[in-house]
Amino acid sequence: MSNTKTAPTQKRAIETQHYFSNLEHEIVRKLHDEAASDFGREELIRSTGIQDPGLIEELGKLGVTADGLITLRLFPLVLVAWAEKNVDSKERETVMAEAQRIGIREDSTAGILLDQWLQVRPPGLCVDAWKRYMHELFRGMSGVAQQRLILLTQKQMTSVAKASGGILGFGKISSKEKAIIHQVISAMRQQTQTHA
């Protein structure tokens, strides 16, 4: 008897999971459509002041809208999470906790985009978009603010790297994770020299 009750319950659970998966894919598709539209690009320019047409075009291709732009601030955390070829649940939790700390809700445009990047490895285009975004961001920041952002990003990336527990669960950072952290921090420091 318990098998007959379990089968419908499992079927409902699978149907519910399928429904939410389809809904999420539809939301992500709409984000990409909005970001790639003329209106979406104009809104991004208007809300951010970014004047780099190449960056605006790249952001549109990536599905980044004006509401979702803050996700680029956390893109280095996504890179660290993908360092070992997959994102585990502890890394995802750490990235999403950092997102909440800066005001990103999971059900917001930014939260949905960030979650998508943690489920499917973002394309290489994201790295270039992030670098160009940092260039634009650093342009309007003082040297002190730039240094604080670099240190915060390094601390957040290290937290994500430690979340998966390293080898044998001792919180070690892998050589791949260290390399990504070094590359990101070096790229950010290079931006400070550009705006010195």
> Tell me, what's the pLDDT at 23?
46
Taking 50 as the pLDDT cut, the residues of the chain under it are 1-2, 18-21, 23
Q: Tell me the C-alpha distance between 2 and 154, whole Å.
A: 52
How wide is the angle at C-alpha 50 spanned by C-alphas 48 and 55, nearest 5°? 120
Cα of 32 vs its chain's centroid, Å:
15
Q: From CA 20, how far away is CA 123, in angstroms rounded?
A: 24
Alpha-carbon distance of 58 to 95, in angstroms, equals: 23
d(CA 21, CA 4): 26
Residue 91's pLDDT is what?
93
pLDDT digits (tens, 9 = 90+) for 122-173: 888 788 888 888 888 787 778 888 899 899 999 999 999 998 765 555 558 8
**Cα separation, 11 vs 18, whole angstroms:** 10
The pLDDT value recorded for residue 131 is 87
Per-residue pLDDT, 19: 45
CB 67 within 8 A of CB 31: no
- Long-range Cβ contacts of 164-168 (<8 Å, 24+ apart): 164/84, 164/88, 164/90, 164/91, 165/90
**Integer angstrom CA distances of residue 152 from 95, 98, 149, 188:** 13, 11, 5, 12
3-class SS of residue 179: helix
Residue spans per domain, the chain: 2-194
